[in-house]
A and B are shown apart, each in its own frame.
Chain A
Amino acid sequence: MKNKSIWLFAFATLLIGFMISLHLNIKPETEQRDTRDLWEIRTALQTEQERRIELQEEFQSLTAMKNDYDTTSRLAQIQTLQSSIKELMAQAGLTRITAPGLEITWQADFQAVESDEPFPKITSELLNRFLNELNLYGAIAIAVEDERIVNHSAIRDVSGRVYVNQRPIRDLPVTIKVTADDLERLSNYLAVSQSREDLLLHNITIDVEEKEELDIPAFSDQLDLEFISITDDLETGDE
């Protein structure tokens, strides 16, 4: 009789233990349901894959650079360092570039000007849009009237004049020098670009001339990084 009761108690505790562990297993909230359809999932997958390829390429180039540092002597290390500094300077637009490129000239179209219209003038907005389009079509380096355009070049209207890199540029005609990997493609794009239409509305025409050797000056000012700081936050892949 006593034996039986002990087994009964054991059975009861077994059930209690089971229920307790179930209670521990309770999830705080039901999981968010994934309601994306096949197309959305495919698009998401594609973007992730593209990102993966990008990251892998970056990783490979960095690994190659690291290998350079690791395997070579001190002298060669300095060389590698200098070459990476050069590379970074070229990326930042601090080097002079001599390469085949396009010389684009904005010219006032006097024939289109009506008698009561003023002389055609460039505006910062037109220039901004044009440079955006050039960048979109694969421009590598751009200079407006020998003012090199870098990432933080400012193009502003200051009391009726257009300033690039804090310096005023002259009135029309204005020359814009640009290099790209595929010049033909760039000039084709320019032939049908929206900017061409916009400029025509302002009575400005574009002449595009392909040059075998184009000299694009370096960014001459001090890079002002006063308001740029390194964030402490970890980004994806930092660890």
Chain B
Amino acid sequence: MWLSIIFLLIGVLLGLLSDITIPEYYSNYLSIAILAAFDTLLGGIRAHLERVFNAQVFLTGFFFNITLAVLLTFIGAQLGVDLYLAAVFAFGWRLFQNIALIRRYLFDLSQKKRQAKLNK
């Protein structure tokens, strides 16, 4: 948990220090990629809590989702249809679901611990 937060900060710092700038035209792509990465990360955390986590699935899913989302946005831009909204909808939906599930698992976990304490 703490390691993740530290790495998030490191990532932000790296990005700020690297002085890479991206034209405004690509901001859509970047935001959709961030959304896809978040979705996969939360999916991974959920799978971890459910004890069905698979590193390979996570890694491939991470990159595949990002690529797919960016590709979808690109195709949408070419066709003149806001296809990225489909990705936003799908990822947003899954994000909420995953967060809800994670919350429930954590909630269950804390309740079980409390129960165990009481039983003692």
Query: Does B78 have its Cβ within 8 Å of any Cβ on chain A?
Result: no
- Whether A10 and B7, one on each chain, are in contact in the complex, defined by CB atoms closer than 8 angstroms, is yes
Asked if A26 lies at the interface with its beta carbon under 8 angstroms from chain B, I say yes
How distant is the Cα of A12 from the Cα of B55 in the complex, in angstroms? 12
B88 to chain A: closest CB distance in Å?
Answer: 15
Q: Chain B interface: which of A13-21, A88-96, A164-172? A: A13-21
Interface size class of B (residues with CB under 8 A): 35 or more
Q: Is A24 an interface residue (CB 8 A)?
A: yes
- The verdict on A227 contacting chain B, using a C-beta distance below 8 Å, is no
Q: How far is the CB of B50 from chain A (nearest CB, A)?
A: 12
**Across the interface, which residues of B come within 8 angstroms of A226, CB to CB?**
none
Cross-interface CB contact of A15 among B3, B13, B37, cutoff 8 Å: B37
CB distance from B21 to the nearest CB of A (A): 5
Complex Cα distance, B23 from A8, in Å, reads: 30
Contact among A4, A15, A23 with B31 in the assembled complex (CB-CB below 8 Å): A23
Q: Which A residues lie within 8 Å of B10 (CB)?
A: 14, 17
Chain B 1-37: CB-based contact to A (< 8 A → 1; otherwise 0):
0011111111111111000111110110011011001
Which of A6, A17, A29 is B24 in contact with, Cβ under 8 Å? A29
Q: Is the interface of B mostly helix, strand, loop or mixed?
A: helix
Partner of B30, one of A13, A23, A29: A23
Tell me, yes or no, whether B74 is within 8 Å of chain A by CB: no
Q: In the assembly, what is the distance between CA of A197 and CA of B45, in Å?
A: 94
Q: Which of B7, B26, B31 contacts A13 (CB 8 A)?
A: B7
- Is the pair B21, A21 in contact by a Cβ cutoff of 8 Å? no
Q: Are A23 and B8 in contact, with the CB atoms below 8 A?
A: no
Which of B12, B33, B37, B62 interacts with A21 by CB under 8 Å? B12
Q: Which residues of B contact A20 (CB under 8 A)?
A: 11-12, 15, 34
Q: Which residues of A contact B3 (CB under 8 A)?
A: 6-7, 9-10
* The residue from A4, A7, A17, A27 contacting B15, defined by CB atoms under 8 A apart: A17
A136 to B105, CA, bound (A): 88
The proximity string for A residues 8-45 relative to B, scoring 1 for CB distances below 8 Å and 0 otherwise, is 11111111111111111111111000000000000000
Q: Quick one: given A5-B53, A6-B3, A30-B23, are A12 and B9 in contact (CB under 8 Å)? A: no
Taking the closest CB of chain A, its distance from the CB of B59, in whole angstroms, is 7
- Chain A residues contacting B62 (CB-CB under 8 Å) are 12, 15
* Cβ of A16 to closest chain B Cβ, rounded Å: 5
**Chain A contacts for B20, CB-based, 8 A:** 22, 25
Q: Which residues of A contact B40 (CB under 8 A)?
A: 12
**Mask: chain B, 57-95; 1 = CB below 8 Å from A; 0 = not:** 011001000000000000000000000000000000000
Minimal Cβ-Cβ distance residue in A for B20: A22
Is A25 in contact with B58, judged by CB distance below 8 angstroms? no
Distance in angstroms from A119 CB to nearest chain B CB is: 74
Please name 28 pairs of A and B residues whose Cβ atoms are closer than 8 Å in the assembled complex, sorted by A: A5-B55, A6-B4, A8-B58, A8-B59, A9-B3, A9-B41, A10-B3, A12-B58, A13-B11, A15-B11, A16-B38, A17-B11, A17-B14, A18-B15, A19-B11, A19-B37, A21-B15, A22-B20, A23-B22, A23-B27, A24-B15, A25-B15, A25-B22, A26-B22, A26-B23, A26-B27, A29-B24, A30-B23
13 additional A-B pairs beyond A17-B7, A22-B30, beta carbons within 8 Å, are A5-B53, A8-B55, A9-B3, A9-B44, A10-B4, A12-B58, A12-B62, A14-B11, A16-B34, A21-B13, A21-B14, A22-B22, A26-B23
